[in-house]
Amino acid sequence: MSLLPEEKTPVKESFEEYTVLIYGPPKIGKSTLASQFDSPLFIAAESGLNALEVYETACLDWQTFLNICKEIAKGEHEFQTIVIDTIDQLYQRCVEYIRDKHGVEHESDLEWGRGWAAIREEFSRVLTKLSLLPYGLVFVSHSEEKEIKTRTAQITKAVPTMTKTGREVVLNMADIILYCESVMTDDGEKRIMRTKPSENWEAGDRTGKLPKVLPLDYKDLHDAFYGNNGYGENGEEGADQ
């Protein structure tokens, strides 16, 4: 049997089939947004879900995460979306796992960058396998501001609070990157999601369906993806810029 395809892979039509990264400052509503995705299971790598009524399983170490992934893969459940809250802390669980595995106090104790390489390989391997399962996948992360030097200036950029290695894995894997923040408008403070990249924040939308800015609300996000609520198929209209 040939391993080469005979037909093109169809474009994913369902919003829940995509991998989504939601990040922003504390208590802005990231977990609340994720809780409105289709039948979510929260893998809680840190506290913060006390105000939400959700299906939650605690994940205090990487081996527990591996065991949870095995159960999810069996398919003997009704969950449709897997939410990792937060991916920042889950990455730290992976770091601790690699340190213990190699008997070192810090990944830099391994020669020739082997520690960093081992962490990246393990983190990427497991998340990739999870993303290939027939469920939606949502990463929740905090945000921090980093000073970025360019040829002509030094700018401040909002990015997920992870080390460079973990951040690169997650950003490359995510189909949709939503940066959540509060902005002041003529009508007062407003919570929004940014979906397009900028020199001042990480964001992205491989589907090309979302407008640049959306209210921090699941219904608006869902409707925008499907071209409802006046946004149009290519996300050309919508919330204030």
CATH of the domain at 26: 3.40.50
Q: Is the dihedral of CA 188, 191, 194, 200 positive or negative?
A: positive
Listed range (10-14, 154-158, 202-206) with the worst mean pLDDT: 10-14
For the segment 143-163, the average pLDDT, to the nearest whole number, is 90
Asked if the structure places residue 42 within a domain, the reply is yes
Asked if the structure places residue 215 within a domain, the reply is no
Residues 104, 110 contacting (CB under 8 angstroms)? yes
- Radius of gyration for the chain, computed over Cα atoms and rounded to the nearest angstrom: 19
d(CA 14, CA 21): 17
d(CA 182, CA 216): 9
Q: Measuring CA to CA, which residue among 222, 197, 232 is closest to residue 212?
A: 197
Mean predicted lDDT score pLDDT of the chain: 90
227: left (phi over 0), alpha (psi -120 to 50) or beta: left
Asked if the structure places residue 219 within a domain, the reply is no
Whole-Å CA distances, 177 to 186, 201, 203: 27, 10, 5
Higher pLDDT: 111 or 94? It is 94
Q: How confident is the model at residue 6 (pLDDT cuts 50, 70, 90)?
A: confident
Q: Measuring CA to CA, which residue among 1, 19, 10 is closest to residue 130?
A: 19
Higher pLDDT: 231 or 234? It is 231
Q: How confident is the model at residue 231 (pLDDT cuts 50, 70, 90)?
A: low
d(CA 235, CA 146): 29
Asked if the structure places residue 22 within a domain, the reply is yes
What is the number of domains present in the chain?
1
Measured in degrees and rounded to the nearest 5, phi and psi for residue 24 equal 170, -175
For the segment 80-98, the average pLDDT, to the nearest whole number, is 96
Asked if the structure places residue 207 within a domain, the reply is no
d(CA 133, CA 104): 33
Asked if the structure places residue 190 within a domain, the reply is no
Listed range (28-42, 78-92, 107-121, 183-197) with the worst mean pLDDT: 107-121
Q: How confident is the model at residue 224 (pLDDT cuts 50, 70, 90)?
A: very high
For residue 236, the model assigns a pLDDT of 46
For residue 232, the model assigns a pLDDT of 47
For the segment 149-171, the average pLDDT, to the nearest whole number, is 91
Asked if the structure places residue 58 within a domain, the reply is yes
Asked if the structure places residue 227 within a domain, the reply is no
Q: Which domain holds residue 81?
A: 18-179
